Amino acid sequence: MTIRTLVKTIQDIMRQDTGVDGDAQRISQFCWMIFSKIIDDQNQGLELIRDA
């Protein structure tokens, strides 16, 4: 799956959320989701290194 397809799929899912009004709000939420995922992945990597 390409990045473009992944982003489009996530956008389509987010459009179904009645609590989100407009693309500006979706973009903001999407950025926070990506940021949280990056931090989580970094923490998991650090735990693996620490436990090794």
- pLDDT (average), residues 3-16: 91
Decide if pLDDT at 23 tops 90: no
For 8-47, b/e burial (b = at least 16 CB within 10 A) is eeeeeebeeeeeeeeeeebeeeeeeeeeeeeeeeeeeeee
pTM above 0.85, yes or no: no
| Contact predicate 16/7, CB 8 Å | no
- Which has more pLDDT, 12 or 1? 12
35-52 pLDDT, tens digit per residue, is 999 999 999 999 999 997
